[in-house]
Amino acid sequence: MSDLGHVLVLAGGLSYEREVSLRSGRRVAEVLRAAGVDVETRDTDATLVPAVLSDPPDAVFVTLHGGAGEDGAIRSVLELLDVPYVGATPDACRVAFDKPTAKAVVRSWGLNTPDSVALPKETFHDLGATAVLARIVDRLGLPLFVKPSRGGSALGASIVRSAEELPAAMVGCFAYGDTALIEQYVQGVEVAVSVVDLGDGPVALPPVEIVPDRGVYDYAARYTAGQTEFFAPARLSPEATEACAGMAVAAHAALGLRDVSRTDIIVDATGKPYFLEVNVAPGMTETSLLPMAAEAAHRDLGTLCKGLLELAAARR
């Protein structure tokens, strides 16, 4: 057994991504047990705080996606309980979880990111949706990509190829959040680059290329086996691969992240990468990208998760 003692995997929560989180938690618990770690899995309900107080874990692995799992709230509670955890601090989570803010930060570091505008639902109500949407198309052009400013798993996200499609895309987006991020759609190769730091500095794992069967990497394409083809490592030139790795590590540093992150990138036809967003609690399911990247790097997932927990425990 591991010297860690017992660790806690948090999974579930009440966000739209609850089912994915539960699957991530099961996967992490399985690989940790295979690595000799004593694991307990818990949801974020009223029993969590009393349980942690009565039997504090050596460290916590957060596999909560969306909402409190990535906006810093649960991590703030863990800090109140003086329990070490894998991943970014609450302050860093708050910056990374808000996509427009994260884009502004990485742009200030010189990273490419598609031009965009973020607008709350009230703006369309107060100023008139027709007039505002027309100005968006005039300013950013077409096609566009619309997504909630917070959240993940492509919920509420869609590609807009004509001005007539934009109102419906906004309605779909506002079903999952009160602020929409509308950005220029960059045609190219979609890749995800995971970054891990086991104490020697952040290192990019091989990029994973994403090729959804229907052309859109939506919720079903992400979590239904067989609907997306993945290439790990991605079929990029050595120069583009190096540029994507550098972008992911730079985004990890710019946003003040810790231990682990995943950056989503589009590589255009010239090999130029564009930062899309960053995830502070990457998915760990059977179809998730970080486990694929670890396998491509010939790194055992259980050993990797155990190492992250040991690093977190050492911070106590």
Q: What tokens were used for 59?
A: 């460290």
- What's the mean pLDDT in 175-194? 95
Res 227: pLDDT: 81
pLDDT tens, 205-221?
999 999 988 767 766 76
Catalytic residue among 15, 17, 183, 258: 17
- What's the mean pLDDT in 121-144? 90
Active-site residue, 54 included: no
User: Coil, strand, or helix at residue 256?
Assistant: coil
53: buried, middle or exposed (CB in 10 Å: 19+, 13-18, 0-12)? exposed
Catalytic residue among 16, 217, 223, 274: 223
Res 155: pLDDT: 81
Beta strands per DSSP E along the chain: 6-10, 38-42, 60-62, 116-120, 144-148, 158-160, 179-184, 189-196, 203-204, 208-212, 228-231, 260-267, 273-279
What is d(CA 236, CA 1) in angstroms, rounded to the nearest whole number?
40
Catalytic residue among 150, 264, 274, 288: 264
Active-site residue, 283 included: yes
Catalytic residue among 27, 94, 222, 262: 262
Catalytic residue among 183, 218, 277, 310: 277
Active-site residue, 12 included: no
Catalytic residue among 283, 288, 302, 307: 283
Res 255: pLDDT: 98
pLDDT bucket at 4, cuts 50 / 70 / 90: confident
Catalytic residue among 151, 279, 288, 310: 279
Res 56: pLDDT: 96
pLDDT bucket at 151, cuts 50 / 70 / 90: confident
- What's the mean pLDDT in 32-60? 96
Residues 140, 133 contacting (CB under 8 angstroms): no
Active-site residue, 277 included: yes
Q: Is the predicted pLDDT of residue 143 greater than 60, yes or no?
A: yes
DSSP 187: P
- What's the mean pLDDT in 189-201? 97
Catalytic residue among 21, 24, 149, 153: 153
Active-site residue, 112 included: no
Average of per-residue pLDDT values in the chain: 93
Res 199: pLDDT: 94
Q: Is the predicted pLDDT of residue 184 greater than 90, yes or no?
A: yes
Active-site residue, 264 included: yes
